[in-house]
Chains A and B, each alone.
Chain A
Amino acid sequence: MKTNTRMAAIAAACTLAFSASALAQAPAAPPPAWKQGISDKFKDSPLAPNAGKNTETAASDIPMDKLKVPKGFKVELWATGMPGGRAMARGDKGKIYMGTRGLGRVYEVTDAGDKRTSRVVIDKLTQPSGVAVQGSTLYVMAIDKVLRFDDIEGKPDVQPVDMTAKFNLPPEQHHNWKYLAFGPDKKLYVPFGAPCNICEPPKEYAQIRRYNPDGSGMEVIARGVRNTQGFDWHPKTGELWFTDHGRDWLGDDGPQDELNRMSKEGLNFGYPYCHAAGVVDPDVTKAENKATACKDVTKPVALMGPHAAVMGVKFYTGSMFPAEYKDSMFIARKGSWNRTNKFGYDVVNVRPGADGKSAKVTPFLTGFLDAKENKFSGRPAYILQMPDGALLVSDEQLGAIYRISYSGGEAKKK
């Protein structure tokens, strides 16, 4: 098999162009450590990733009575029957497209006013989690495919245009299922995660890129990003804010997931040598580099919890919620597996400080986690703001969408 050739090629490609002197450096000598990163300390640990749910969940099996939101808010079950549905993108005509991972489907959810229906737009794809809409045109990115459905809202049976060759996607799968979004500049922002838990990533990975919608004009705009699965642009500054999953197998309490702010292009956000607020990686950092592992690294604005699996980010720009929520973010945390006591399984509100260097994190939607039993029911993943200012929250585990609205002190009957 091609292992030796491939490892040699990766070693040669591993130039780690973080610093200005990159071009002058010799390629790194040893091949990357494609390890799980589980040291002997954890060899008896029973922790393993949570099982997803590929089957439909009936509305009666969704524990709405356990969900909590702050006073004056209400959370309702808005749609069910989309197993694995996660990222949501809304077209001009109101159709909501949802990507999935393992099941390989993209759903289209229609709001008929008093109820929601859904259909499968396309299936049999390899983890088509990335969905983004421009007008009424849907872009879908699977790990190994890019498809464009022109005016799908007007033409439901439109056959997709295969854009894959134009995007020239690199081959690794791990952490390369996508979150996709169009920026205010109308370009398509695409992450390429590190294809490992901890390793020195080859040069095409552990980064965020931006493309023209036709796949041309590719630019790498951030490096040192292990696995981002959600981002949004600040309504006033236009800066990109993105979440990033911390590595596993360094213990229950860290390194924490991150919320980062991209104040300019070309920054290094730390992976693999420097995690969270300055945790030097013990596995890949050479002894002689430990003192400077976090030098020139852009630190997170907020730490989002240990192994929390931070996902979607949405800056609130609506008028339904109280004024204090304007320009704050809602961030979903799918919840942990690499931790003895589960953590996350919620949506938090995050308010950046005036200097943009810190942020206040407060719970917003909770109730999926039974801390006493150490069990979870659902896993909130992404947030979509509706035209009326209500928020939709997708639940990848239960294949459902919740709607969160605000009515102030008095309860309004619908």
Chain B
Amino acid sequence: MLIAFFSSAAAAQGAAPAIADRLQACSDCHGPDGNSVTPGIPSLAAQPKVFVENVLVLTREGLRGNAVMQGLMKGITDREISALATHFAALPAKPSPGEPDKALIQKGRALSGKLRCGTCHLPNLRGREQMPRLAGQREEVLYAKMIAFRDKPPPGTDTIMNATLYGTTDADIKAMAHFLAHAR
């Protein structure tokens, strides 16, 4: 038989891995219900499963440049990653904090329309597969991420985001971040 020998992590069969301890560590920063109340820390609630899996795999691989997260991901198996991702995908998203600025929302909505965010992230901006939920994410997280995608895409990410945001100004991104944060 020509079937390959592969690593024991993939070979493990049986019950779903126990992730309670890991989830406690996640809650410490990302909030007990996956809705982050800390600036700079993203909300995880209702994020698509494949998206979360990808981020955790890339973090474990040392590609995300986040030392704290990388430390937490040391030794985590693919199956544990899938279990964590499944957990967060099922949590309900709460609205992001902050007062809505109508004019800025209008500007952001128009720009998001022009850049066709809804084509990949869906018209309700709730994301799917490897494309994250944008609606209701923390505004400063969205802003920082879009700036990074425009100027220096992190390793492991799809360059389509770099191509999409090419030529946008900081003010454009500020408006889109505000619109997306307040989208339901």
A contact residues vs B (CB 8 Å cutoff):
1, 3, 7, 31, 34, 36, 38, 42-52, 54-59, 76-81, 102-105, 114-118, 123-127, 173-177, 195-197, 400, 403, 414
| CB of B139 closer than 8 Å to a CB of A | no
Of B57, B81, B122, B156, the contact of A46 (CB 8 Å cutoff): B122
The answer for the CA separation of A176 and B113 in the assembled complex, in Å, is 27
Q: Is the CB of B3 within 8 A of A104?
A: no
The answer for the CA separation of A114 and B11 in the assembled complex, in Å, is 18
Q: Is the CB of B119 within 8 A of A47?
A: yes
Q: Is the CB of B155 within 8 A of A124?
A: yes
The answer for the CA separation of A372 and B163 in the assembled complex, in Å, is 33
Q: Is the CB of B78 within 8 A of A124?
A: no
The answer for the CA separation of A118 and B54 in the assembled complex, in Å, is 22
For the A-B complex with A76-B2, A403-B2 known, give 19 more contacts whose Cβ atoms are closer than 8 Å: A34-B163, A36-B115, A36-B164, A38-B116, A46-B119, A48-B120, A48-B128, A54-B53, A56-B78, A59-B4, A78-B4, A80-B3, A103-B57, A103-B58, A104-B63, A104-B155, A114-B2, A115-B5, A125-B155
Of B2, B50, B122, B123, the contact of A51 (CB 8 Å cutoff): B50
| CB of B31 closer than 8 Å to a CB of A | no
Chain B residues within an 8 Å CB radius of A42: 119
Q: Is the CB of B167 within 8 A of A124?
A: no
Q: Is the CB of B159 within 8 A of A115?
A: no
The answer for the CA separation of A43 and B117 in the assembled complex, in Å, is 10
Within 8 A of A (CB), among B1-33: 1-7, 9-11
Q: 5 closest A-B pairs (Cβ-Cβ)?
A: A81-B6, A51-B130, A56-B10, A55-B78, A48-B120
Chain A residues within an 8 Å CB radius of B3: 59, 77, 80, 115
Q: Is the CB of B61 within 8 A of A45?
A: no
**A116 nearest CB neighbor, chain B only:** B4
Q: Give chain A nearest CB distance to B147 CB in angstroms.
A: 9
Which of A51, A81, A117 is packed against the most chain B CB atoms within 10 Å? A51
The answer for the CA separation of A149 and B116 in the assembled complex, in Å, is 43
The answer to whether A45 and B119 touch (CB under 8 A), given A34-B167, A123-B62, is yes
The answer to whether A58 and B11 touch (CB under 8 A), given A47-B119, A195-B163, is yes
**A124 nearest CB neighbor, chain B only:** B62
Q: Is the CB of B6 within 8 A of A59?
A: yes
B contact residues vs A (CB 8 Å cutoff):
1-7, 9-11, 50, 53-54, 57-58, 61-63, 78, 81-82, 113, 115-116, 118-120, 122-123, 128-131, 151, 153, 155-160, 162-164, 166-167, 169-170
The answer for the CA separation of A314 and B16 in the assembled complex, in Å, is 42
Pull 18 A–B residue pairs with CB atoms less than 8 Å apart, ordered by A: A34-B163, A36-B115, A43-B119, A51-B50, A54-B57, A55-B78, A79-B4, A80-B10, A81-B6, A102-B157, A103-B57, A105-B61, A116-B5, A127-B155, A174-B162, A174-B163, A195-B163, A197-B163
Which of B118, B158, B170 is packed against the most chain A CB atoms within 10 Å? B158
The answer for the CA separation of A58 and B8 in the assembled complex, in Å, is 10
Chain B residues within an 8 Å CB radius of A124: 61-63, 155
Chain A residues within an 8 Å CB radius of B5: 115-117
Q: Is the CB of A49 within 8 A of B63?
A: no
Which of B4, B54, B131, B153 is packed against the most chain A CB atoms within 10 Å? B4
Q: Give chain A nearest CB distance to B163 CB in angstroms.
A: 4
Chain A residues within an 8 Å CB radius of B130: 51-52
The answer for the CA separation of A340 and B53 in the assembled complex, in Å, is 26
The answer for the CA separation of A287 and B22 in the assembled complex, in Å, is 60
Chain A residues within an 8 Å CB radius of B115: 36
The answer to whether A3 and B63 touch (CB under 8 A), given A54-B54, A196-B163, is no
Q: Is the CB of A103 within 8 A of B119?
A: no
Chain A residues within an 8 Å CB radius of B156: 102-104, 126
The answer to whether A58 and B119 touch (CB under 8 A), given A104-B155, A123-B61, is no
Of B10, B116, B159, the contact of A36 (CB 8 Å cutoff): B116
Q: Is the CB of A174 within 8 A of B167?
A: no
The answer for the CA separation of A77 and B50 in the assembled complex, in Å, is 26
The answer to whether A34 and B166 touch (CB under 8 A), given A48-B131, A104-B155, is yes
Of B2, B4, B131, B169, the contact of A117 (CB 8 Å cutoff): B4
Chain A residues within an 8 Å CB radius of B131: 48
The answer for the CA separation of A114 and B3 in the assembled complex, in Å, is 8
The answer for the CA separation of A104 and B158 in the assembled complex, in Å, is 12
Chain A residues within an 8 Å CB radius of B61: 103-105, 123-124
The answer for the CA separation of A400 and B113 in the assembled complex, in Å, is 39
Q: Give chain A nearest CB distance to B56 CB in angstroms.
A: 9
Chain B residues within an 8 Å CB radius of A400: 4
The answer for the CA separation of A196 and B82 in the assembled complex, in Å, is 32
Q: Is the CB of A174 within 8 A of B2?
A: no
Chain A residues within an 8 Å CB radius of B167: 3, 7, 31, 34
The answer to whether A81 and B10 touch (CB under 8 A), given A43-B116, A47-B119, A117-B4, is yes
The answer for the CA separation of A197 and B151 in the assembled complex, in Å, is 18
Q: Give chain A nearest CB distance to B58 CB in angstroms.
A: 7
Chain B residues within an 8 Å CB radius of A79: 4
Q: Give chain A nearest CB distance to B19 CB in angstroms.
A: 15
Q: Is the CB of B163 within 8 A of A58?
A: no
Chain B residues within an 8 Å CB radius of A43: 113, 116, 118-119
**A113 nearest CB neighbor, chain B only:** B2
Q: Is the CB of A126 within 8 A of B163?
A: no
The answer for the CA separation of A105 and B63 in the assembled complex, in Å, is 10
Chain B residues within an 8 Å CB radius of A103: 57-58, 61, 63, 156
Q: Give chain B nearest CB distance to A16 CB in angstroms.
A: 19
